Chains A and B, each alone.
Chain A
Amino acid sequence: MSVPVKRPLVSVVDDDESVRESLPDLLRELGYSVRAFSSAEAFLASECVGETRCLILDIAMPGMTGPALQQELLVRGQAIPIVYITAQADEIVDSSSLGQGAVACLFKPFSDTALFEALNAVFRVN
């Protein structure tokens, strides 16, 4: 087992508890260090913003939505690659969002391969 010396940090922001519990374990299995947040506001208030290499972000959340968080990060000059996840097929992130740092959009439930490919795309770019 070859473990990277410094594991890149992936932050998960989703109001759904199932996702916050299950996704970090899978991401750790894939070799990342993970932090999970129940809201966009909680993520912004944390010390992880600067350290996060990839953001796995729910679109529809009470309070600040996924795309709103993306805009806020752009304003702050924090260019974090984003993988959107959504439970609603018609909540498709428009192409302009994808161009501004969003790399992929996964529809729940998604397979580990789909997640793996999306993360590969993020870290290859990096």
Chain B
Amino acid sequence: MRHEVAHGGYTAAQDVGLPPSRHREPINSAAESGTVTWVGLGIAEIAARVGGLIRQGLPLSVVLTTLCQLFDAAVKGFSSRILLLDPTAARARNTAGSYLAAGYMKELAAASAAPGFMLYELSPILSLTGDPLGIFALYRRECSPEVTRCHSALIPQFIHVAGAAIERMQSDEALKRNAALLERTQQLSSTCCFSWRVETGEISWSKELCQLFELDPSGVPVTLQLIGTRIHSEDLATFHEMIERARSGVSDIEFEHRLRLPDNSVKYLRVVAHRVRDQEGQLEYIGAVQDVTHRRHTEEALAKLRAELARAARVTSLGVLTAAIAHEVNQPLAGIVTNANTCRRMLAVDPPDIEGARETARRTIRDAERASEVVKRLRALFCKKGATRESLDLNEAIREVVALSLSELERNKVVVRMELAGELPRVHGDRVQLQQVILNLFLNASDAMSGVDDRPRQLMVKTERDEEDRVRLSVRDTGVGIEPQGVDRLFDAFYTTKSGGMGIGLSVSRSIIESHKGRLWATPNDGPGATFAFSMPCGPQDAMARHVRNL
């Protein structure tokens, strides 16, 4: 019998957009009568009309007023009214006659005071789970007849429709409130969210994320490929690596990458995602993306300041050091010059003072030895321990230097390209010293390009095995270049073409390379810029291996 109720209860609830009623028992009374005949619209039509109003987005008060008007039109001599319970107010308990919080009785009393009407019936409007949502109040015109049987069957159905409408709209509102809250929170924390179903590739992105990536939210659906077009070329590898990790099903993903937007601006993003299984058990990642550009810029500015400070400190300490060296060396030099002058004068007189001259010559030699002692001590100071030689991979050394200097190079808008030979023999040397040389060549290249704006500032570092079976490393820039006649002077100590330079870098670099039985040289490029390169012998093991192969 019960499914017949569908005519009223089920359909009505579904039209309003709710699952079928389980608790609204009063509808059974309509079922008992078999068919319901009454004036005006059928309950199904009323439910459909209310559902339409809800979908139009009209406020709850308008929807409920319309519902009451439909009831009043259907049931002559009666007037209905709906009072809503404030969800934040004290909850009425389902005990006899006490659905209502005390405050609502005043409302009812006021309502009943409408002239010519008297309160006929009060019924609770309940949610699906039996919580009170409001009160359906029915008033009878003073001279009207009693409510008919068919009318009394209609009342619970109306209450059911009202309940469904209230519940649906309140949950819609709660959803809207939550969505608004989420949006606001996202704005406040510069965070956007996304979900990604790994199997289907289905990606749902928030509007804010589309804005962040500068993608058209109404355009084509977001795909990994589309996202890839915005990823900074240098971070693409990291991005794809993360995608692969996700496909393998790791539980948490966390990484940072940059975006290159159509206007060439760069954004720094931090991505955090967590693995979940959706209802069908499919792998899905829910994640948040935070725009950390501002933070990164601050960090970069800080790093720049720190680097400048370190440079200033280095120059200052070099200045102090130079003064100390000068003092130590100048003392014996003064003795040498004075002694030699005295000697010359003693020999110039007639008769020459041979004994005095001999004594001054002896002191000249002694002072010269003192000066050379000072130099020896200084060298001992700077080479406290002997250079540590080990077998090392020059490519690896280069990668480390690139990693260290990348932020400095990027700050100077230098693009680094690497062409590292695949099977480069290992060399035997001091890793730190060789890396100092490489770093020096990088920074020189970067400095040489600092004024270049009409072409890309490109630094190309290349390794290869040369014709003499040695390992060659070259650093090619697109900077101001070098004068062919000035090439040899470049490596002189204290020779510099840079305003802020000390002119030590290249001479020190050359001495380091020479101590590795290598050679460091510079050549002007055919195009703009210069190439600095060094070559050095392969390490003993590689040399041995080749020797064996050649036998």
B326: CB under 8 A from chain A? Answer: yes
Q: Which of B89-121 contact A (CB under 8 A)?
A: none
Evaluate contact between A111 and B337: CB separation under 8 angstroms.
Answer: yes
Which of A19, A30, A89 is the one whose CB lies under 8 Å from B334? A19
Evaluate contact between A16 and B338: CB separation under 8 angstroms.
Answer: no
Evaluate contact between B356 and A25: CB separation under 8 angstroms.
Answer: yes
Contacts of B359 in A (CB 8 A): 25
A1-B349, A87-B326, A90-B323 given as contacts; is B331 within 8 A of A108 (CB)?
yes
Evaluate contact between A21 and B341: CB separation under 8 angstroms.
Answer: no
Evaluate contact between B363 and A21: CB separation under 8 angstroms.
Answer: yes
A18-B363, A22-B338, A25-B360 given as contacts; is B332 within 8 A of A112 (CB)?
no
Q: Which of B345-380 contact A (CB under 8 A)?
A: 345-346, 349-350, 356, 359-360, 363, 367, 370
Q: How far is the CB of A57 from chain B (nearest CB, A)?
A: 14
Contacts of B530 in A (CB 8 A): none
Q: How far is the CB of B545 from chain A (nearest CB, A)?
A: 55
| A50-83 interface code vs B (CB 8 A; 1 in, 0 out) | 0000000000100000000000000000000000
Contacts of B346 in A (CB 8 A): 25, 29
B336: CB under 8 A from chain A? Answer: yes
Evaluate contact between A21 and B335: CB separation under 8 angstroms.
Answer: yes
Contacts of A26 in B (CB 8 A): 338, 341-342, 345
Contacts of A4 in B (CB 8 A): none
| B302-346 interface code vs A (CB 8 A; 1 in, 0 out) | 000000000000000000000100110011111111110110011
On chain A, the number of residues with a Cβ less than 8 Å from chain B's Cβ atoms is: 23
Evaluate contact between A109 and B345: CB separation under 8 angstroms.
Answer: no
Evaluate contact between B323 and A88: CB separation under 8 angstroms.
Answer: yes
Bound Cα distance from A13 to B350, whole angstroms: 31
Evaluate contact between A110 and B334: CB separation under 8 angstroms.
Answer: yes
Evaluate contact between A88 and B331: CB separation under 8 angstroms.
Answer: no
B357's nearest neighbour on chain A, judged by CB, is A25
Evaluate contact between B331 and A16: CB separation under 8 angstroms.
Answer: yes
Which of A18, A23, A29, A111 is the one whose CB lies under 8 Å from B370? A18
B332's nearest neighbour on chain A, judged by CB, is A18
A28's nearest neighbour on chain B, judged by CB, is B342
Q: How far is the CB of A36 from chain B (nearest CB, A)?
A: 12
Evaluate contact between A109 and B336: CB separation under 8 angstroms.
Answer: yes
Contacts of A29 in B (CB 8 A): 342, 345-346
Q: How far is the CB of B355 from chain A (nearest CB, A)?
A: 12
Evaluate contact between B345 and A112: CB separation under 8 angstroms.
Answer: yes
B337's nearest neighbour on chain A, judged by CB, is A109
A19-B335, A109-B337, A110-B334 given as contacts; is B345 within 8 A of A88 (CB)?
no
A1-B349, A21-B363 given as contacts; is B338 within 8 A of A109 (CB)?
yes
Residue from B333, B334, B349, B360 with most neighbouring chain A CB atoms (10 Å): B334
A16's nearest neighbour on chain B, judged by CB, is B331
Bound Cα distance from A85 to B332, whole angstroms: 13
Q: Which of A1-50 contact B (CB under 8 A)?
A: 1, 16, 18-19, 21-23, 25-26, 29-30
Contacts of B341 in A (CB 8 A): 26, 111-112
Evaluate contact between B339 and A22: CB separation under 8 angstroms.
Answer: yes
Evaluate contact between B360 and A22: CB separation under 8 angstroms.
Answer: yes
Evaluate contact between A18 and B342: CB separation under 8 angstroms.
Answer: no
Which of A23, A30, A109, A112 is the one whose CB lies under 8 Å from B333? A109
Q: How far is the CB of B40 from chain A (nearest CB, A)?
A: 107
A1's nearest neighbour on chain B, judged by CB, is B349
Q: How far is the CB of A23 from chain B (nearest CB, A)?
A: 5
Bound Cα distance from A90 to B327, whole angstroms: 10
Evaluate contact between A18 and B367: CB separation under 8 angstroms.
Answer: yes
Bound Cα distance from A23 to B363, whole angstroms: 11
Contacts of A88 in B (CB 8 A): 323, 326-327, 330
Contacts of B327 in A (CB 8 A): 60, 87-88
Contacts of A22 in B (CB 8 A): 334-335, 338-339, 342, 360, 363, 367
Q: Which 8 A-B pairs have the closest CB atoms?
A: A18-B335, A108-B334, A112-B341, A87-B330, A22-B338, A109-B337, A109-B333, A109-B334
Mark B residues whose CB is within 8 Å of A: 323, 326-327, 330-339, 341-342, 345-346, 349-350, 356, 359-360, 363, 367, 370
Mark A residues whose CB is within 8 Å of B: 1, 16, 18-19, 21-23, 25-26, 29-30, 60, 85, 87-90, 107-112
Can you name 20 extra interface pairs (CB under 8 A) apart from A87-B331, A108-B334?
A1-B349, A1-B350, A16-B334, A16-B335, A19-B335, A22-B339, A25-B339, A26-B338, A87-B327, A87-B330, A108-B333, A109-B333, A109-B334, A109-B335, A109-B336, A109-B338, A110-B338, A111-B337, A112-B338, A112-B345
Name 30 A/B residue pairs within 8 A (Cβ), A-sorted.
A1-B350, A16-B331, A16-B334, A18-B334, A18-B363, A18-B367, A18-B370, A19-B331, A19-B338, A21-B335, A21-B363, A22-B335, A22-B338, A22-B367, A25-B339, A26-B342, A26-B345, A60-B327, A87-B327, A88-B330, A108-B330, A108-B334, A109-B330, A109-B333, A109-B335, A109-B336, A110-B337, A112-B338, A112-B341, A112-B342
